[in-house]
């Protein structure tokens, strides 16, 4: 299972964040405009469309195995 992860070192804190605006799962959140956005792994489907949305290549991906009980261990 894959999920998008936003790299805070690459993120330029755009306003608005294109990843947050265009994510089809509304999985990206930001506490305030001064904070960098983050991905809610429970909402994120892992589609990785956001790699094409971010102009600063801040989207990385992580993989996490299923725990064998049809649950993800996020």
Site of interaction with ligand SF4 (CB under 6 A):
4, 6, 11-14, 17-19, 23, 25, 27-28, 37, 39, 44-50, 54, 56, 58
Which residue lies nearer to ligand SF4 by CB, 3 or 68? 3
- Give the residue from 57, 74, 52 showing the smallest Cα distance to 65: 74
Query: What is the gyration radius of the CA atoms in the chain, in angstroms?
Result: 13
Nearest distance in Å: CB 55, ligand SF4: 6
Distance separating alpha carbons of residues 67 and 71, to the nearest angstrom: 6
Of the two residues 1 and 18, which places its CB atom closer to ligand SF4 in the complex?
A: 18
């Amino acid at each position: 299972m894959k999920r998008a992860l936003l790299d805070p070192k690459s993120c330029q804190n755009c306003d608005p964040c294109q990843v947050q605006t265009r994510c089809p799962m509304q999985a990206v959140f930001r506490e305030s405009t001064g904070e960098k956005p983050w991905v809610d792994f429970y909402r994120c489907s892992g589609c990785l469309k956001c790699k094409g949305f971010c102009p600063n290549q801040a989207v990385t991906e992580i993989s996490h195995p299923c725990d064998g009980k049809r649950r993800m261990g996020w």
